[in-house]
Structure 1
Amino acid sequence: MQVSVDTTSQIERRITVQVPAAEIDEAVNTRLKDAAKNVRMDGFRRGKVPMTVIRQRYGSEVRNEVVGEVMRERYVRAISENELNPAGLPQIEATVNEAGKDLEFVATLEIYPEITLASIEGAEVERPVVEVSEADVDEMIDTLRKQNAEWEVVERAAEDGDQLTIDFQGFLGDEPFEGGSAEGHDLVIGSGSFIPGFEEQLIGATASDDKELKVTFPEDYQAENLAGQEATFKVKVHAVKGQALPEVDAEFVKKFGVDDGDLDKFRAEVKKNMSREAEQAVDNRVKQQVLSALQKANEVTVPQALVQQETDGLKRQAAQQFGLGEDFDVSQLPNELFEEQARSRVEVGLLLAEVIKVNELEASDDEIRAKVQELAEQYQEPEQVVEHYMGNDQLKTQVKSAILEEKAVDVLLEQASVKDVEMSYQDVLAAAQQQEEVDEEESSEEAGEEERQA
């Protein structure tokens, strides 16, 4: 076997392989002889069909099978001997494939890029310092009360946050439009579930009122015949309901896993959960800043095969999120919606892998179990969760990857300039969310700039 490797770009290689004709012909002949033992054909006894007939009938098919197998096997051997690390599947094409001639094929593949890490020294990272106060706990308990509130009919005008039971019908001019009507619909004012301007006009309404609302559909409304159109809705109000908040008593507390109904235990559990959430928000915010600095300090040529794999994964996530069903063909979703995010994820993954490799980071079984126990605290039966994770190699691998990522971020954090900033519980959660949005926007802008330069 003769092999030559050409470098066609920083991450693309072109492998040309030649296999002696004798090897292919011998493999084809052997397979045809084996097949001949079981061939049934009119006019011949089983196993007595002449090889000339066998070759004429099955020769082309058998040769294609042999050549396919040989190309796959020799490709694997070639990348191993030349120490190539493929990123995705290759494109393999036979360039010479004739009986009596040496087989020649070309494999074009992308490889993982070689990365020389640049330090993020000097990068500024803000690390929030947050303490969950008793007032924060009170606010969270109020939120839990609202989530468990019941609706009761009230004899007053509707206010923001009330629930109205209504009939409605929508008109374009004097004509009702399809899908614009309902009876006995429950609508919470301020929920944002209706067209902008609809809910606000129901503030002040009372039971038995007949209202006529003027609204304009958004320009990007999903129904093209309604997008940007002015419409009138005739609304009949049947009932106005306000929230009846539950008392924070033993019965309320038991709903949240405090079986003995002890209020102090309940407050302590709420505070513990909030502290864990705040800690996660701090870690995520710090991590996002560190990874953003890592990407800015290091330019990586990303294999398109990896980007496509990540794009396909994001498509599947989107399909699940929107309930499109397991049988939905995700190829119907355009790559453009996911490709920028996918490319950024692949960049980060490659860079973190290099940080882990350079610093020889490891995650022991004890560390994996400790991490799983930490995650399991959020569940009612944590021990079962721990055993489930520790008995599943795939889940253990996911946890191991998360631990290694955390260690890599810690290594990078030592290079950065870290400033502690005191923040409230609410602010730290909002800041973490805002940072995610900023990073996504910057990623989008950078991708757009790269396209313009290209």
Structure 2
Amino acid sequence: MQGNLEVLEGLARRLDISVPVDQLETEVQSRLKRLARSVKMHGFRPGKAPLSAVARQHGAGVRQEVLGETLKTRFGEAVQTHQLKIAGYPRFEPKADQSAAAEMTFSASFEVYPEVKIEALDSGTLNRPVVELGDADVAKTLEVLQKQRRTFAAAERAAAEGDLVRFDYQGTVDGAPFEGGRGEDFAAVVGEGRLLKDFEQALIGLRAGDSKGFDLTFPADYAARELAEKTAHFEVQVKEVQAPVLPPIDAEFAKALGVEDGDVEKLKVEVKSNLEREVKRRVQAKLKEQAMELLLQKSTLDLPRSLVEMEMERLRRMTEADMQSRGVQSMKLSADMFTGQAERRVRLGLILAEIVQANKLAAQPEQVRRLIQDQAQSYEEPDQVVQWYYQSPERMQEIESLALEENVVAWAADQATVVDVATSFDELMGRA
């Protein structure tokens, strides 16, 4: 017999779960008999060990296994009886000394999903960027592609921004050398940010054979903490200045970018098509960001602590795995570092789930297919990418989640006021 549901503080609940001892022992004995037919034990042939010996060695483990399965089953029955929506996992604890009782009684502590209240969104505003792509945007993108394929040639002039400068350098702090403060035949492109800005500026105007001394103060967030905010003196000797040489936008250039017949006009059409896809993606991302903020502002709910803790742990594991994949020295992170991020993600997840269910916004197969095809267009073999997605339930689940978010954003845009804002391509890309 299952106990009454006990409502604790907030979303916490407790149920009493009873397990008849005779039923438990019957199942334990049944499993031990099955185990005895095949188990290997020292001193006995396989399957020939007496039941008493099997029970002595494996009885505790089998009993724990049966108890766990039984508790899970009876908890599920109780949840259905009380029509509960469980958040996270229950915690089972024995209620008292039950060695002589006909029933073992456990308390199951858990949380339930909260009620999500969402106010009307009609007072909210979403700003939708509107971008008119022109020939200038295509030309600017082609310039970027040219720079990515540039070469360098020796220049008999002073170094300017964009030049490749090869030089030796020696640095000191308070007259003493420091680790990393000396280099020979070091090469860097002025203006690309590989060097500190003040160091790059010091190279401008120098020719091959020139030397120069200058002071530089390291920023407060400098990677080498022992140098942060300290002033160093550098001496540089320039060995060579090379000017960038951009490839012409011609048939060879077009072929290198995947246009088989080398037609430059086809290349421009393809570049514009890629820009249009990127604009669409960025506009949707801007709308999504605003829609999520609006939903957070307009929603009220209690957060299940169990879900937040699970999300904190998931984020911790993901971050550690990402650091390892980047070659960063392995370190143990604290899940508490991700509390704020986890709370936001759980809150948004619960809000989105409520909106999807209440408004029947489930992802449709044709919508999922379109999203996959959109993703695949960025690759040389789109059909293979589409197939790659459909071969993995995990990847398909990611796309379906994107579809649900897309549906919620569209729903929020219908409820709120959407204002079209004329935006340049550079502004949309964050380069203005």
Task: Single out whichever of 355-364 and 292-301 deviates more from structure 2.
Answer: 355-364
Residue of structure 2 equivalent to 1:243: 244
Q: Deviations over 1:113-142 (max 9, x none)?
A: 221332211101111221101111111111
Residue of structure 2 equivalent to 1:256: 257
Residue of structure 1 equivalent to 2:382: 382
Give the Å deviation of 1:326.
9.3
Q: Is the 8 A contact 1:2 1:19 kept in 2?
A: no
Give the Å deviation of 1:337.
4.1
Residue of structure 1 equivalent to 2:77: 77
Give the Å deviation of 1:268.
1.0
Query: In the aligned structure 1, how far is the partner of 2:288 from the partner of 2:109?
Result: 37
Read off the aligned partner of 1:381 and give its amino acid letter: E
Read off the aligned partner of 2:276 and give its amino acid letter: S
> Does residue 137 in structure 1 map to residue 143 in structure 2?
no
Distance change (3 Å), C-alpha of 1:145 and 1:428: same
Read off the aligned partner of 2:354 and give its amino acid letter: E
Please state whether the residue corresponding to 1:87 is helix, strand or coil. Answer: strand
Map residues 32-431 of structure 1 onto 2, 5 A cutoff: 51=52, 60-96=60-96, 98-101=98-101, 102-319=103-320, 322=323, 324=325, 332-430=332-430
Query: In the aligned structure 1, how far is the partner of 2:227 from the partner of 2:327?
Result: 31
Give the Å deviation of 1:13.
2.0
Query: In the aligned structure 2, how far is the partner of 1:173 from the partner of 1:94?
Result: 68
Read off the aligned partner of 1:182 and give its amino acid letter: G
Q: TM-score, normalised by structure 1?
A: 0.84
Give the Å deviation of 1:36.
6.3
Query: In the aligned structure 2, how far is the partner of 1:77 from the partner of 1:329?
Result: 44
Q: Is the 8 A contact 2:118 2:300 kept in 1?
A: no
Please state whether the residue corresponding to 2:178 is helix, strand or coil. Answer: strand
The alignment covers a number of residue pairs equal to 430
Please state whether the residue corresponding to 1:3 is helix, strand or coil. Answer: coil
Q: Is the 8 A contact 1:190 1:199 kept in 2?
A: yes
Distance change (3 Å), C-alpha of 1:54 and 1:241: closer
Q: Is the 8 A contact 2:220 2:229 kept in 1?
A: yes
Residue of structure 2 equivalent to 1:438: none
Query: In the aligned structure 1, how far is the partner of 2:196 from the partner of 2:391?
Result: 50
Runs of 4+ in 1 over 6 A off after TM superposition: 36-39, 53-57, 326-330
Q: Is the 8 A contact 2:32 2:51 kept in 1?
A: no
Distance change (3 Å), C-alpha of 1:36 and 1:135: closer
Distance change (3 Å), C-alpha of 1:59 and 1:319: closer
Query: In the aligned structure 1, how far is the partner of 2:340 from the partner of 2:80?
Result: 32
Give the Å deviation of 1:14.
2.1
Please state whether the residue corresponding to 1:419 is helix, strand or coil. Answer: strand
Query: In the aligned structure 2, how far is the partner of 1:195 from the partner of 1:133?
Result: 35
Query: In the aligned structure 2, how far is the partner of 1:284 from the partner of 1:36?
Result: 61
Distance change (3 Å), C-alpha of 1:328 and 1:221: closer
Give the Å deviation of 1:174.
2.6
Q: TM-score, normalised by structure 2?
A: 0.88
Task: Single out whichever of 276-285 and 300-309 deviates more from structure 2.
Answer: 300-309
Give the Å deviation of 1:99.
3.2
Read off the aligned partner of 1:405 and give its amino acid letter: E
Distance change (3 Å), C-alpha of 1:55 and 1:393: closer
Give the Å deviation of 1:313.
4.2
Please state whether the residue corresponding to 2:363 is helix, strand or coil. Answer: coil
Q: Is the 8 A contact 1:189 1:199 kept in 2?
A: yes
Give the Å deviation of 1:298.
0.4
Q: Is the 8 A contact 1:172 1:231 kept in 2?
A: yes
Distance change (3 Å), C-alpha of 1:50 and 1:118: closer
Please state whether the residue corresponding to 1:394 is helix, strand or coil. Answer: helix
Task: Single out whichever of 406-415 and 387-396 deviates more from structure 2.
Answer: 387-396
Give the Å deviation of 1:227.
2.4
Please state whether the residue corresponding to 1:421 is helix, strand or coil. Answer: strand
Please state whether the residue corresponding to 1:302 is helix, strand or coil. Answer: coil
Give the Å deviation of 1:394.
3.0
Please state whether the residue corresponding to 1:90 is helix, strand or coil. Answer: strand
Task: Single out whichever of 53-62 and 88-97 deviates more from structure 2.
Answer: 53-62
Q: Deviations over 1:86-122 (max 9, x none)?
A: 3323333333464332322222223322213322111
Query: In the aligned structure 2, how far is the partner of 1:31 from the partner of 1:139?
Result: 73
Query: In the aligned structure 2, how far is the partner of 1:368 from the partner of 1:105?
Result: 45
Read off the aligned partner of 1:159 and give its amino acid letter: A
Please state whether the residue corresponding to 2:167 is helix, strand or coil. Answer: strand
Please state whether the residue corresponding to 1:169 is helix, strand or coil. Answer: strand
Query: In the aligned structure 2, how far is the partner of 1:65 from the partner of 1:393?
Result: 30
Please state whether the residue corresponding to 1:399 is helix, strand or coil. Answer: helix
* Percentage of matched positions with identical amino acids: 34
Q: Is the 8 A contact 2:117 2:300 kept in 1?
A: no
Read off the aligned partner of 2:115 and give its amino acid letter: E
Gap runs ≥5 in structure 2: none
Residue of structure 2 equivalent to 1:21: 21
Please state whether the residue corresponding to 1:305 is helix, strand or coil. Answer: helix
Q: Is the 8 A contact 2:220 2:228 kept in 1?
A: yes
Read off the aligned partner of 2:372 and give its amino acid letter: V
Task: Single out whichever of 410-419 and 71-80 deviates more from structure 2.
Answer: 71-80
Q: Is the 8 A contact 2:16 2:105 kept in 1?
A: yes
Give the Å deviation of 1:15.
2.5
Distance change (3 Å), C-alpha of 1:312 and 1:32: closer
Residue of structure 2 equivalent to 1:451: none
